[in-house]
Amino acid sequence: MKCNFALVLMLLCVASTNAQSSAPDGAVLYRAACAACHGPDGRGPPPERKLSVPTPDLTDCSFASREPDADWLAVMHQGGPVRAFDASMPAFGEALKEAELQAILDHVRTMCMDRRWPRGELNLPRTFFIEKAYPEDEAVTTLSIAADQPGRIVNEIVYEKRFGPTSQIELKLPFGTQQSPLDDSWQAGLGDVTVGLKQVLHHSLQRGTIFSAGVEVQTPTGRTSSGLGSGTWVFEPLLMFGKAFTGDVFLHLLAEAELPADKTKAEREAGFGIGFGKTWTSGTWGRTWTPMLELLGGRGLESGASLELDIVPQIQISLNTRQHVLGNIGVRLPVNGSGRPTTVLFYVLWDWFDGGLFAGW
């Protein structure tokens, strides 16, 4: 036992020496600061250790890969409450330097052995219209109010579920209300339900890039007489690209096509989206503010069709302490063409993997 004690002392001395003279050793620091609760291998504490709250399995890639370093460091530095997690996770910001915390985190990142899981740094803030390349476990409800068409309101609920390291399915449920221009009566109902599949094709944390392909199938569930449905099946292949730059600046690119089964009921279209933004944080660990701008283009594939451009300025704000519930407000402004209304938009995004909707406030 004395040998073990001597070994621990020696390791701590090594850690201390390293901290002073060179890059800190994350594995040594992990053993000193984290292993008591998270286990030497990240799978949890030894059986004789009685903790009031179970610790997560750090080798589980589904858990360990999702959040960016910034969120991990916030909890390591400030303790669990900074993200509304359990208060039994202590703050190490006074005991360890930031470089030492980063070294520990770098070591923790090695515990997920499956490199297919894209890192949370590539999960860029969600815009209103450009599908992001990162697969997510999210629910988003978006409210669209046509500013120059009073009585036209659409509420869309999107449910996304990740499966495996790089895949995601999603379901879009639009609900619309529309006031008849003829007799002022209100029409309401389900719109065209869409199901989708997304697959990450490539991702690189080093380059900050992620590239995915997907397909969505829009079903003719909405009533065409109410203006809530297209009346035909529509197949939508899409390509998505995301890039994270330094300074929390990011870029989304989207290319897509809409291919209706019945060309007499809907037009074949090709479209693109370019979105970019930057995230600011209140204080070091607080609320995030992300102004973004989308440029959306669409063009009918029939000859003679013109390119229609819209811009969508918007700002996303984290709403709760855990930062897994976010709000976005923006407006879609037609740049050219006619017949497309200016639309005011709101969404509430719930990253349900991180906790309940009412947890973490």
Among positions 14, 23, 87, 315, the unique one binding other proteins when judged by CB under 8 A: 87
User: What is the closest distance, in whole angstroms, from the C-beta atom of residue 60 to other proteins in the complex?
Assistant: 22
Q: Is 283 in the site for other proteins (CB under 8 A)?
A: no
Rounded CA-CA distance 223/171 in Å is: 19
User: What is the closest distance, in whole angstroms, from the C-beta atom of residue 324 to other proteins in the complex?
Assistant: 22
**Closer residue to other proteins (CB): 50 or 264:** 50
Among positions 54, 90, 164, 337, the unique one binding other proteins when judged by CB under 8 A: 90
Rounded CA-CA distance 118/202 in Å is: 9
- For residues 100 and 312, the answer to whether their CB atoms sit within 8 Å is no
Specify the residue for token string 């999960």. 123
Sign of the CA dihedral with 296 first, then 299, 300, and 301 last: negative
User: What is the closest distance, in whole angstroms, from the C-beta atom of residue 59 to other proteins in the complex?
Assistant: 20
Instruction: Give, for 26, the enclosing helix (H) or strand (E).
Output: helix 26-33
Alpha carbon of residue 93 to chain centroid:
27
Which residues ranging from 46 to 85 are in contact with other proteins (CB under 8 A)?
A: 46, 48-52, 79-81
Rounded CA-CA distance 152/176 in Å is: 8
Q: How far apart are the first and last CA of the chain?
A: 46
Those residues with Cβ within 8 angstroms of residue 157's Cβ, 6 or more apart along the chain or in another chain: 139, 140, 141, 142, 172, 173, 174, 175
How many chain residues are in contact with other proteins, going by CB under 8 A? 33
User: What is the closest distance, in whole angstroms, from the C-beta atom of residue 109 to other proteins in the complex?
Assistant: 19
Q: Is 96 in the site for other proteins (CB under 8 A)?
A: yes
User: What is the closest distance, in whole angstroms, from the C-beta atom of residue 107 to other proteins in the complex?
Assistant: 14
Q: Using DSSP, state whether 272 is helix, strand or coil.
A: strand
Binding mask 21-40 for other proteins (x = CB under 8 A): --------x--xxx-xx---
**Closer residue to other proteins (CB): 49 or 202:** 49
Those residues with Cβ within 8 angstroms of residue 58's Cβ, 6 or more apart along the chain or in another chain: 38, 42, 43, 64, 108, 111, 112
From the list 41-49, 249-257, 298-306, 312-320, the region that binds other proteins by CB under 8 A is: 41-49
From the list 12-20, 63-71, 154-162, 259-267, the region that binds other proteins by CB under 8 A is: 12-20
**Closer residue to other proteins (CB): 1 or 113:** 1
Which residues bind to other proteins, rule: CB under 8 A?
1-2, 4-5, 8-9, 12, 15-16, 29, 32-34, 36-37, 46, 48-52, 79-81, 87-92, 94-96
